[in-house]
Structure 1
Amino acid sequence: MGNVGLLYVGAVLFINGLMLIGKVPGKSAAVMNLFVGAMQTIFPTIIISQAGGDPAVIFGASGLFLFGFTYLYVGINQLYSLPGDGLGWFSLFVAVCAIVFGTVFLVHFLDPVAAVMWYLWAVLWLLFFLVLGLHMDNLTIATGWFTLTVAHISATIPALLLLTGAFESTGSNALWMAAAGLAALVFSFVMGRRAASTAPVEVHTPVLQAS
Structure 2
Amino acid sequence: MGSVGLLYVGAVLFLNGMMLLGRVDARSAAPLNIFVGGLQVITPTYLIFTANGDADTILAASGLYLFGFTYLYVAFNLLAGTDGTGLGYFSLFVAVCAVVYSYLNFTRFNDNAFGVIWLYWAFLWALFFVVLGLGVESLSRYTGAVAAIQGWLTGAIPAFLLLTGNWVDHTNTAAIVLAVAAVVLFGLGYPLFRGSTPSPTPAQSPTVSTAG
Q: TM-score range by the shorter chain?
A: over 0.9
8 Å contact kept, 1:95–1:125: yes
8 Å contact kept, 1:78–1:208: no
**Secondary structure, aligned partner of 1:166:** coil
Mapped to 2, the partners of 1:23 and 1:159 lie a distance apart of: 25
| Alignment of structure 1 residues 138-157 onto 2, 5 Å | 138-157=138-157
Shifted more, 93-102 versus 51-60: the winner is 51-60
8 Å contact kept, 1:85–1:210: no
Compared CA separation, residues 45 and 207, structure 1 to 2 (3 A) = same
What do the CA deviations read for 1:173-195 (whole angstroms, capped 9, x no partner)? Answer: 111011112222123312223x5
Compared CA separation, residues 47 and 65, structure 1 to 2 (3 A) = same
Which position in structure 1 is the counterpart of 2:46? Answer: 46
Which position in structure 2 is the counterpart of 1:167? Answer: 167
* Misfit runs of 4+, over 6 Å: none
The TM-score normalised by the length of structure 1 is: 0.92
Which position in structure 2 is the counterpart of 1:206? Answer: 205
In the TM superposition, residue 6 of structure 1 has moved relative to its aligned partner by 0.7
**Secondary structure, aligned partner of 2:73:** helix
| Correspondence 1:190 to 2:191 | yes
Which position in structure 2 is the counterpart of 1:119? Answer: 119
Unpaired stretches in structure 2, ≥5 consecutive residues: none
8 Å contact kept, 2:95–2:125: yes
In the TM superposition, residue 207 of structure 1 has moved relative to its aligned partner by 4.4
Mapped to 1, the partners of 2:207 and 2:189 lie a distance apart of: 18
What do the CA deviations read for 1:101-124 (whole angstroms, capped 9, x no partner)? Answer: 000010111110110110000000
Which position in structure 1 is the counterpart of 2:63? Answer: 63
**Secondary structure, aligned partner of 1:15:** helix
What do the CA deviations read for 1:56-89 (whole angstroms, capped 9, x no partner)? Answer: 0100110000000000000110011111000000
Letter paired with 2:105: F
| Alignment of structure 1 residues 11-160 onto 2, 5 Å | 11-160=11-160
The TM-score normalised by the length of structure 2 is: 0.92
**Secondary structure, aligned partner of 2:208:** coil
Mapped to 1, the partners of 2:49 and 2:64 lie a distance apart of: 14
Mapped to 2, the partners of 1:148 and 1:50 lie a distance apart of: 33
Shifted more, 26-35 versus 158-167: the winner is 158-167
Mapped to 2, the partners of 1:154 and 1:183 lie a distance apart of: 15
Mapped to 2, the partners of 1:158 and 1:117 lie a distance apart of: 10
8 Å contact kept, 1:11–1:156: yes
Letter paired with 2:37: G
What do the CA deviations read for 1:21-65 (whole angstroms, capped 9, x no partner)? Answer: 111111100000000000000111111111111100100110000
In the TM superposition, residue 208 of structure 1 has moved relative to its aligned partner by 5.1
